[in-house]
Chain A
Amino acid sequence: MSLRRVSILFAFSTFALFAVLVLSLLYFYRGGLFIETLFSERTLFSIRLSIYSATVAAVLATALAVPSAYALSRCDFPGKDAVDTILELPMIVSPAALGAMLLIFFNNPLGNWIQTRGAQFVFDSNGIILAQFVTTLGVATRLTKAAMDEIPQRYEDVARTLGASPAAAFFNVTLPLCRRGLAAAFILSWAKAMGEFGATITLAGTMAMKTETLPIAIFMKLSTADIDGTVVLILIMTAIGIGTLYAVRMISRKGLHA
């Protein structure tokens, strides 16, 4: 068997693994309940909240990731290794631990001051965005840095010899060249934020029509031993998540090659 066939076989095996998991949900599927749950006010609220918070968190994470990644990719500075290593913190500590860290931070005098004089985060929808932002920031920075590492420094140097300022060289040369990597960083951050559960539930709570995102709604259905309802919500979440990512992939493929 050729390498090509073997690799395609592996690719389809990965697809089959996830497809079997999704299809196994149909064992508990009830058609009427799907429509009823999908168009209920509570589910629609959870969908809107999930999409809104994941988008805001991913935009913020990508916005902060670009300058950070540039510094890590292009500059040498004291403490660079420490900064680079801590990007993995959200992956090393569990999301629940990350949520607990945020909760403990807001229990400290500084956090308390922010809560009383600034915005509320604990048990508030702002907490969802913060939890998702903190969870995705490391991934967004790591992916953006990888994309920038692929662009040779020489291109910026050439632009500088032609009279461009460092900022102009970055915005006109490096950034457009790594747009595919940036798009990938944003998409992956969005997907990770959309499915985020542990940090969100710990910081923002589980209140229906207030802080109940789709992953939390799934957990709450399971918490009431409502397995049929759980299945419906997982199917809705899968359809929204995979559908959106597939659509974005198709659009960006056309756009980026244009």
Chain B
Amino acid sequence: MRYGLLLLSALLFSMAPGFCATAHGEEGLLVFAGAASKPPTEEAAKTFEKRTGVKVDLVFGGSGFVLSQMILAKKGDIYFPGSSDFMEIARKKGAVVAETERKVVYLVQAINVQKGNPKGIHGLRDLTRPGVRVAIANPEGVCVGLYAVETIEKEFSAADKAAFKRNLVNYMESCEKTATAISLKTVDAVIGWSVFQHWDPARIETIPLKKSEISRIGYIPVAISSFSNNKVRARQFIDFLLSEEGKAIYGKYHYFMSPEEASAWIGATKPVGGEYVLPADWRPK
């Protein structure tokens, strides 16, 4: 019995996080990132660790949520939101060093449906058909939702908008969960990013929007946090993301590496980034 207790205590002690030496210390980096770039960012962080020996801890979530965490915790070296809208908020709140902001990859809006397109959705107006279950990311907190609202407001008549809202069953709380809604077949379609198809190719299919329906090209920016005590290392990580090796990782996941590449996919030149103010009827008070 006594030996059993000793063994159990030793086992518990060995499992305690502080017992195992990790590479993360003063030289490590803490990155607050939007889920829009989760798969390649994880890979990029691992590659960076291998190259430099600098441990990169990644905190993923909705772009606004991780920004709140960073501000309240007063820590973090890098802010890496899902789009320019949240970088704008971070700048206004003084949470990032504005002059360190860089554009990493570019994103284009699209409709995402279940593999094989069982509901026969071929365009934006099909989302207003009765019986089609649609979701968008929460436009108040998730960038891709804001882009979706912009398109709906621009393209739909009042009747179309009302029909679309009748079909709209949920606001997803992150970019990643917007894609997962299709994977889990909880909805028939989402207005997401073209890249979602490559996150889960077995279950998600992308239906491109007409070039006239796309207002702007999204981009994923990155900047050094105002709370960073390790700005040299943070700069080094950003430089790695923008290097050929870093870009190759994002390219592998079918992100667009330049505005030209995104424009070529759309078939027209579109403005990059910018801010869109969410209309009042999408933001109940």
Contact = CB atoms under 8 A, between A and B. Distances in A.
Given A42-B285, A104-B184, A107-B184, A227 B170 contact: no
Interface in A8-33: none
Contact of B173 (A103, A208, A223): A223
Contact of A211 (B65, B71, B170): B170
Given A42-B284, A107-B185, A208-B284, A223 B169 contact: no
B171 interface: yes
A206 B140 CA distance: 11
B221 interface: no
Contacts of B266: none
Contacts of A89: none
Interface string A104-144: 10110000000000000011100000000000000000000
B186 A223 contact: no
A123 B171 CA distance: 9
B252 interface: no
A208 B71 CA distance: 25
Query: Which applies to chain A's interface (DSSP): helix, strand, loop or mixed?
Result: loop
B174 to A, nearest CB: 8
A223 B64 contact: yes
Interface in B69-108: 71-72, 86, 89-90, 93
Interface in B235-285: 283-285
B173 A219 contact: yes
B138 interface: yes
Given A225-B64, A225-B93, A227-B71, A206 B184 contact: no
B185 A222 contact: no
A158 to B, nearest CB: 43
A208 B283 CA distance: 8
Contact of A230 (B68, B86, B142): B68
Interface size class of B (residues with CB under 8 A): 20 to 34
A227 B138 contact: no
B140 A224 contact: yes
Contacts of B186: 103, 106-107, 122-123
B141 A220 contact: yes
Interface residues of A, number: 26
B190 interface: no
A40 B285 contact: yes
Contacts of A205: 135, 169-173
B40 interface: no
Interface in B21-75: 62, 64-65, 67-68, 71-72
A71 interface: no
A41 B285 CA distance: 6
A41 B284 contact: yes
A209 B168 CA distance: 13
Contacts of A226: 68
Contact of A223 (B93, B135, B140): B140
B170 A220 contact: no
Interface string A73-111: 000000000000000000000000000000110110000
Contacts of A225: 64-65, 67-68, 71, 86, 89-90, 93
A42 B169 CA distance: 18
A211 B135 CA distance: 14
Contacts of A206: 138, 170-173
Contact of B142 (A103, A223, A227): A223
A207 interface: yes
Most A CB contacts (10 A, CB to CB) among B65, B135, B284 go to B284
A223 B170 contact: no
Contact of A209 (B62, B90, B172, B284): B284
A196 B140 CA distance: 22
A223 B135 CA distance: 18
Interface of A: 40-42, 103-104, 106-107, 122-124, 201, 205-209, 211, 219-220, 222-227, 230
A-B interface, 6 closest residue pairs, ranked by CB to CB distance from nearest: A223-B141, A205-B170, A123-B170, A123-B169, A223-B65, A225-B67
Given A205-B171, A209-B284, A226-B68, 11 more contacts: A42-B285, A106-B186, A123-B170, A207-B170, A207-B171, A208-B171, A222-B64, A223-B62, A223-B65, A225-B86, A227-B71
